[in-house]
Amino acid sequence: MLRNCVAASAALALSLFAQSACAFLDPPYITPEHPLAGDTISVNIYGGICDAIGSVPGYPQITQDGNAIRILLLSVHYDSPKLCFWPVGTATDPIGAYPAGSYTLQVDRIYSDVGGNPIVETLGILPFTVAGAATPAVPVPALRQTGLCLLILTIVGIAAAVPRSTPLQV
């Protein structure tokens, strides 16, 4: 019994000095949420502290095979809290504009482990639909100032020409 109490007390005391890594990347999402043909579509990933999405020449790498699109993002990932200094924020990368249709976007990241070996990790597969282009605005005929004045004069003329059926009493 004393042995269990000592072990529990030691574990509690040591846990107060433990540091944990705070690596996180939320699931990716696209903007605009309901794209139209010709809209530039972007992928967004919220994260930080021990994980970050970088931007260097050659990245992101975007490939397309039919309606399957893949984006490979350069990333960093640390497990040691001493190396976790990245700000928390949203990384946004445009993937392009597409014609109307249904697509899938596979979002991958690549980073190196402690030994320098590349690790490719899929962050998400996002199905999305691009709707046809918005119909252009069609001008609707409307009265201008001249037409409005003529309308008012016509109404006043009709009202003046109609005989009154009952005499006015004052």
Domain boundaries, the chain: 19-128
Predicted confidence at residue 19, as pLDDT, reads: 45
With 0-12 CB in 10 A as exposed, 13-18 as middle and 19+ as buried, what is 156? exposed
Average pLDDT across the chain, whole number: 82
Please tell me whether the overall predicted TM-score, pTM, comes out greater than 0.85 for this model.
no
Predicted confidence at residue 56, as pLDDT, reads: 84
Residue 14, pLDDT > 50, answer: no
Tell me the pLDDT band of 11, cut-offs 50, 70 and 90. very low
Least confident segment among 10-14, 55-59, 120-124: 10-14
Q: pLDDT digits over 83-137, tens only?
A: 788 889 999 999 999 999 999 999 999 998 888 899 999 999 999 999 986 666 6
Residue bearing the bigger pLDDT, 169 or 115: 115
Q: What's the CA gap between 89 and 95, in Å, rounded?
A: 19
Predicted confidence at residue 122, as pLDDT, reads: 95
Q: pLDDT digits over 32-48, tens only?
A: 999 999 999 999 999 98
Cα dihedral 155, 161, 167, 170, rounded to 10, equals 50
Q: What's the CA gap between 25 and 51, in Å, rounded?
A: 7
SS3 22: coil
